[in-house]
Amino acid sequence: MSDITALLHAGLLVTDLTRAKAFYESVIGLNVFPDRPELPYPGEWYQLGGGQQLHLMQLPNPDVGNVRPEHGGRDRHIALGVKDMAALKSRLDAVGVKYTTSKSGRAALFCRDPDMNTLEFVLVS
């Protein structure tokens, strides 16, 4: 049995923090976590619930230029629970963010942020 009890935060690299913040706040609908520690680079923290956060870090991406799979489920990704999949799809459609649905038949979709980070959204009750 593992001593690991939780995933506390996930960190994603972004090249343009202003653009990333617009995506994560306006399109995805995340709320800023106000207690971001002082770090030597620009970034933002978002509250995900259950004491978990998403951390955006404006740092050079070592993977820039790599070819990404078309379907995000076959790429590195984080999975986020969502209560209203239709509302999320509407927000993504409104700004032209492409997404694919889960190949397993689950109520889930995959999209990429402006920096090609893959996000999975799974319907939770």
56-98 pLDDT per residue, tens: 999 998 777 778 877 777 788 999 999 999 999 999 999 999 9
Q: Dihedral, CA atoms, 52, 122, 24, 13, nearest 10 degrees?
A: 70
| Whole-angstrom distance, CA of residue 46 vs CA of residue 18 | 14
Domains of the chain, first to last: 9-61+68-123 (3.10.180.10)
Q: Nearest-CA neighbor of 46 among 71, 64, 27?
A: 27
Tell me if the pTM is above 0.85: yes
What is the tens place of the pLDDT at every residue in 23-37?
A: 999 999 999 998 888
Return the pLDDT at 86. 95
Dmax (CA) for the chain in angstroms is 45
* 49-58 per-position pLDDT tens digit: 888 999 999 9
